[in-house]
């Protein structure tokens, strides 16, 4: 049954249609123990903690513009910082409509079911809650987590995780057990994971609750300071300059098209798209006007009719990326098999909770990964073609939100993409360029010139930590551990388009791009204070780090291949061949 729809008076700015509140006010004050909340989650409820309030999001799931996965990764966790980073103040306030109580004492995070956490039933909760079981969205997450484990060679995984129903460990070791990797390979891969984790534990502050709580408090104070200093206010004048740049690039493209310099024209079109991507990124994060509908509209116009892509597709992956940054199992932006394996764990058949399928390390990957350091730049020159495929798959399959604020985005983007292929494909490529060879040159140059953009998009994470330090790690520490910034002179900011301040952006995704440089010194101060290293590399050094990391995984792949060969030979001897 769908929840009844009402207009919420508290959100006049966006006149949002949201489902009717689900718990009467008197129930919101109930004090709920961690054990009881665990029982509710075991019953399939989508519960997270916000400012010590217990929020049950079940009735909202189908309406959430941020998608289901974003919420799933917060189940059983204190989501205060993630929610603050990703929502407007009004939306954050409105979440209390879904409050079912407050927490008792200090909250200790669970591993969310989607990440392999398991939850014990609570007898009283089973009784109380059983009549809600027909709720459409309440199909059990814990059941889902269990079936995920069973699908992925369950028995073995459970053994590896100690067989406990109550543990709060992560799914990390599950994926390698999921495929066909032999025990020797697993020993090798596990030892690499252990080494990586030990390095992180040495380099970053301890995970005990006092240290992490201290970091969180200082991070929240920093956010208040940033707000007080006006750094959330958009600098619209900067966009006038941006617009002037877009128009000049587009007019130059038309000029060269007209005089028959097709490759030069293509180069300007590619640069025009590259520059626009930065603005689409701002809009996707609601970091321009801070109004969800207006910013998303700006982003969709740039992405679809102008760029031939889908902002909805990008947001769907990007939102999850911002929550589980650089996690091999959960972050779609980290999953590039069979072309790249950015971490050794991809060599052991990893389960993607985003794509809900195994990412097998199979023949094509085994062939390509050893050369990945050499293929990094060539593959990225073709990156834009891949984006068309992803965008159309997303739009045709209707994977985006079908209800709530964002229900119409899909139709808007399909229409926008058709307009794109009309002006780009028909009017420019087909009608304005006479020869097939010139057409080919124009298309290739306009697409390949986006390579630096694709480097910028991957640079900030590929060389950074991918370790899962568990649910006790605070949001700010995790963002700074998994993300690097690129140092560049201010005059080059237009080239990097804000993507050089990824770490700052991950801490505060809604800060408008043109204020990120001013925010940097505040973040550096914060990092020094809480003793978290702030990763800042020059563009060339950052590239070196990435290539180095890709090379390292190639070497690990070679060792793994040796292990597998030895295992196969031993098996042959054992079977008497």
Among the residue ranges 29-37, 69-77, 464-472, 517-525, the one whose residues contact ligand HEM (CB under 6 A)? 69-77
The binder of ligand HEM chosen from 37, 41, 47, 70 (CB under 6 A): 70
d(CA 401, CA 387): 20
Nearer to ligand HEM, 266 or 509 (CB): 509
The binder of ligand HEM chosen from 32, 49, 54, 71 (CB under 6 A): 71
Binding residues for ligand HEM restricted to 46-65, rule: CB under 6 A? 48, 55, 57, 60, 64-65
Non-local CB neighbours of 231 within 8 Å, separated by 6+ positions? 511, 512, 515, 518, 519
Would you call 517 exposed, middle or buried from its count of C-beta atoms within 10 A (0-12, 13-18, 19+)? middle
d(CA 77, CA 47): 8
Binding residues for ligand HEM restricted to 244-303, rule: CB under 6 A? 286, 292
Nearer to ligand HEM, 295 or 329 (CB): 295
User: Is the CB of residue 350 less than 8 Å from the CB of residue 176?
Assistant: yes
Least distance (Å) between residue 85 CB and ligand HEM: 8
Angle formed at CA 575 by CA 570 and CA 577, multiple of 5 degrees: 85
Q: Does 100 bind ligand HEM (CB under 6 A)?
A: no
* Nearest Cα residue to 222 out of 571, 14, 550, 528: 528
Nearer to ligand HEM, 48 or 501 (CB): 48
Least distance (Å) between residue 540 CB and ligand HEM: 33
d(CA 375, CA 530): 38
Strand-pairing partners, residue 487, are 538
Report in angstroms the alpha-carbon separations of 3 from 53, 57, 101, 570.
Answer: 22, 12, 20, 60
Nearer to ligand HEM, 82 or 190 (CB): 82
Instruction: Report the b/e string of 485-510 with b at 16+ CB within 10 A.
Output: bbeeeeeebebbbbbbbbbbbbbbbb
Non-local CB neighbours of 485 within 8 Å, separated by 6+ positions? 460, 500, 501, 502, 503, 504, 520, 534, 535, 536, 537
Binding residues for ligand HEM restricted to 10-29, rule: CB under 6 A? 16
Nearer to ligand HEM, 98 or 539 (CB): 98
Q: Does 95 bind ligand HEM (CB under 6 A)?
A: yes
The binder of ligand HEM chosen from 161, 315, 513, 549 (CB under 6 A): 315
* Site pattern 318..337 for ligand HEM (x: CB under 6 A): -x---x--------------
* Site pattern 527..556 for ligand HEM (x: CB under 6 A): ------------------------------
Query: What is the size of the binding site for ligand HEM (CB under 6 A)?
Result: 26
Binding residues for ligand HEM restricted to 167-226, rule: CB under 6 A? none
Least distance (Å) between residue 446 CB and ligand HEM: 28
Report in angstroms the alpha-carbon separations of 555 from 196, 209, 335, 550, 552.
Answer: 15, 37, 19, 9, 5
Q: Does 74 bind ligand HEM (CB under 6 A)?
A: yes
Nearer to ligand HEM, 188 or 313 (CB): 313
Q: What is the DSSP letter of 329?
A: T
d(CA 499, CA 25): 43
Give the residue nearest to ligand HEM (CB).
Answer: 66
Sign of the C-alpha dihedral computed for residues 318, 322, 323 and 326 taken in this order? positive
Strand-pairing partners, residue 352, are 357
Least distance (Å) between residue 14 CB and ligand HEM: 6
Least distance (Å) between residue 295 CB and ligand HEM: 8
In 416-556, beta strands by DSSP E:
485-487, 536-538
Q: Does 86 bind ligand HEM (CB under 6 A)?
A: yes
The pairing of strands 99-103 and 350-352 is unpaired
Would you call 194 exposed, middle or buried from its count of C-beta atoms within 10 A (0-12, 13-18, 19+)? exposed
Nearer to ligand HEM, 87 or 513 (CB): 87
Least distance (Å) between residue 63 CB and ligand HEM: 8
Say how many Å lie between the first and final Cα of the chain, rounded.
62
Nearer to ligand HEM, 74 or 532 (CB): 74
Among the residue ranges 86-94, 208-216, 226-234, 420-428, the one whose residues contact ligand HEM (CB under 6 A)? 86-94
Contact positions toward ligand HEM, by CB under 6 A? 16, 48, 55, 57, 60, 64-66, 70-71, 74, 79, 82-83, 86-88, 91, 94-95, 98, 286, 292, 315, 319, 323
């Amino acid at each position: 049954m769908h929840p009844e729809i009402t207009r919420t008076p508290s959100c006049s700015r966006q006149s949002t249609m949201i489902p009717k509140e689900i718990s009467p006010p008197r129930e919101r004050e109930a004090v709920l123990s961690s054990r009881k909340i665990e029982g509710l989650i075991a019953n399939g409820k989508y519960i997270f903690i916000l400012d010590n309030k217990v929020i049950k999001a079940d009735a909202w799931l189908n309406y959430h513009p941020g998608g289901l996965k974003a919420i799933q990764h917060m189940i059983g966790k204190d989501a205060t910082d993630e929610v603050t980073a990703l929502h407007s103040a009004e939306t954050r306030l409105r979440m209390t409509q879904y409050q079912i109580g407050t927490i008792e004492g200090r909250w200790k995070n669970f591993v969310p079911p989607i990440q392999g956490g398991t939850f014990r039933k609570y007898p009283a909760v089973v009784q109380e809650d059983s009549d809600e079981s027909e709720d459409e969205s309440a199909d059990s997450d814990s059941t889902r987590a269990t079936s995920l484990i069973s699908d992925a060679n369950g028995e073995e995984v459970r053994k590896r995780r100690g067989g406990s129903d109550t543990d709060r460990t992560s799914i990390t070791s599950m994926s390698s057990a999921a495929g066909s990797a032999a025990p020797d390979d697993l020993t090798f891969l596990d030892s690499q994971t252990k080494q990586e984790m030990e390095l992180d534990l040495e380099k970053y502050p301890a995970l005990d609750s006092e240290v992490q709580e201290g970091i969180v408090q200082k991070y929240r104070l920093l956010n208040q300071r940033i707000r007080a200093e006006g750094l959330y206010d958009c600098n619209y004048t900067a966009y006038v300059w941006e617009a002037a740049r877009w128009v000049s690039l587009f007019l130059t493209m038309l000029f060269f098209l007209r005089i028959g310099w097709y490759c030069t024209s293509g180069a300007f079109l590619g640069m025009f798209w590259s520059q626009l991507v930065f603005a689409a990124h701002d809009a996707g994060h609601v970091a321009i006007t801070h109004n969800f509908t207006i910013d998303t509209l700006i982003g969709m116009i740039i992405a679809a009719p102008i760029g031939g892509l889908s902002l909805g597709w990008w947001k769907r992956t990007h939102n999850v990326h911002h929550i589980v940054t650089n996690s091999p199992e959960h972050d779609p932006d980290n999953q590039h098999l069979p072309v790249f394996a950015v971490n050794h764990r991809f060599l052991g058949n990893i389960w993607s909770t985003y794509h809900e399928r195994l990412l097998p390390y199979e023949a094509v990957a085994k062939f390509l990964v050893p050369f990945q350091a050499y293929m990094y730049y060539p593959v990225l020159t073709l990156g834009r073609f891949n984006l068309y495929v992803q965008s159309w798959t997303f739009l045709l399959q209707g994977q985006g939100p079908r209800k709530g604020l964002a229900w119409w985005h899909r139709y808007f983007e399909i229409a926008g993409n058709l307009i794109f292929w009309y002006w780009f494909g028909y009017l420019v490529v087909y009608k304005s360029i006479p020869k097939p060879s010139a057409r080919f040159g124009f298309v290739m140059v306009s697409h390949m010139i986006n390579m630096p953009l694709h480097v910028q998009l991957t640079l900030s994470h590929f060389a950074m930590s991918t370790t899962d330090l568990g649910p006790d790690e605070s949001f700010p520490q995790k963002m700074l551990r998994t993300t690097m910034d690129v140092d560049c002179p201010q005059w080059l900011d237009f080239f990097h388009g804000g993507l050089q301040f990824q770490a700052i952006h991950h801490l505060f995704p809604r800060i408008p791009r043109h204020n990120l440089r001013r925010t940097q010194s505040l973040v550096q101060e914060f990092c020094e204070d809480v003793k978290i290293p702030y990763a800042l590399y020059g563009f060339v050094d950052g590239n070196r780090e990435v290539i180095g990391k890709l090379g390292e995984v190639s070497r690990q792949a070679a060792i793994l291949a040796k292990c597998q060969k030895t295992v196969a030979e031993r098996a042959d001897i054992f079977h008497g061949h």
